[in-house]
Structure 1
Amino acid sequence: MSRERAKRVTLAPVQEVTCGAELAVMFVEILVKGKYSYDDDTLDRIRKIYKKFPRIPVPQHLDLAEDDDMQRLSEALGAAKIRVEGCSSFLKAAIKWSIEFGAHRNGSPELHDMLADYIYSESPELDMAKVSYHFVRGKNPKKFASTLVNFMGKCYPGEDDLAIARAVLMYLSLGNLGDANVLMDDTKKQVQSREVDFPRSELMQFINYLLQTVQRDALPLFSMLRQRYKLSIDRDPIFDELLDEVAVKFYGVRRRNSMPGMFGEFFKMMSGDS
């Protein structure tokens, strides 16, 4: 097969995905215009459309010194990006519809779980912050724990504890202590059955102490922990903002402004509003 013909064969599925994604978004637009209420039947129709989005593994064991293999990899990564963008556009539109027409104020948890799973499994350039944003608005912390353990097995050194800490802090920033604890407990259990080490760092010490502290009326201890582990918290600029929101949810500390600065911009970016 010639290179030009191979390229045409590769582009055909990409065009199908693009057209399919556009039709999927149009379906959500019909739901909005028709003011269809959020219910199990409509959610099931969205789920069936979601399952039509393909999952195609990136080619492995390629010789990147060969032009043909480099071309194959480049085309595969480009196609994966298009799939993720298409599915994300569809599910983000569906989440906004669900907010407006009867689901949870953060949107349908089921739709958030779908989007988190697809972004994680299909993204050529994985952004765990986006994955976490949607998982914490879902209802499956054990699935999230499995995803984190999988990520820990292939991430760069020093990213594993950041990913776990970010996930826990995101749950807590929503006031969801229960799922934060489930996530931590299940992550610790799952690493024991896999060839992955649970990170041992000062940041993980802080997260363990924090989970115990927010169960008590202990604002001074909360503030002391933030000061004691400041260097670890400063490893990710969003952590301070998330902790400010934790203080609001668990201790009634008032913010000077509603979702200011980086925190507001971060969540706009994750939800696709910017």
Structure 2
Amino acid sequence: MASSRVGGAERVLSKCQSCIDEGNFYEAHQMYRTLSFRYKGQNKYAEAINLLYEGAYKLLQYNQHTSGADLALLLIDLLNTSLSPVTDDIIEKNYVQARYHLIHSTDGTNCAAMLIEHHVTKGYQSEADLFIAQAVLQYLCLQNKDTAQVVFNTYTKNHPDVEDGPPFYKPLLNFIWFLLLALEGGKVTVFTILCEKYQTSIKRDPTYREYLDRIGQLFFGLPPPKTQPQGMFGNLLQSLMGAGNDDDEDIMQQSTSSSQMSLSQVDLD
């Protein structure tokens, strides 16, 4: 009887693969589900876990996102049900894909945890500020300001290579901190001066200028750059021509919400 059941499972798996090869993804999806429930009912958790992982992986390879995600959710549920230990074999550590999905989420806490782990295991010590800066700028380009704030605060608080702040030792971290504060006031001159003061840090990654162009449009009402060579800074300065000298001249006196420090009390790096 036991050998008969094993042979039946192998035949189902073989048929699943044939369906995938022939493009019958729906049928393959249903067979993976059916067999996984059969394994689960027999308390064969290891077999069910391997099956669901294999099925989700293969379906996602063929861009069957809905079916692949369904099997992935069944896999997560099974891991919780079986109380299986979370090992490196279960988590693939695909930081690139994890980062992509977290940037499109509102889970700033777990995004920060992933960025810290990614940097500590894969990055150079000098790049601790680069990992978080790009994530915050991308969140802002997606108009997800609240999550950008959470991921920045969580990252800087928990990263072993980032000292207590603000202010921070690394200029790029101070720039991101000031930028998040500037979003609250929405004053274009604050944004402009920050970008001018931190040009050296911004130039460390050429994509930062593109992100900041977009952030200027979304949060400060700036028009898109007219020409590529002109870039963000020329566009910002042009937008200020004829704007007059009003209460924006006291920009460096704005209070921070977290530490009651003003921009005038902290030297810009």
The normalised TM-score by structure 1 is 0.49
The normalised TM-score by structure 2 is 0.50
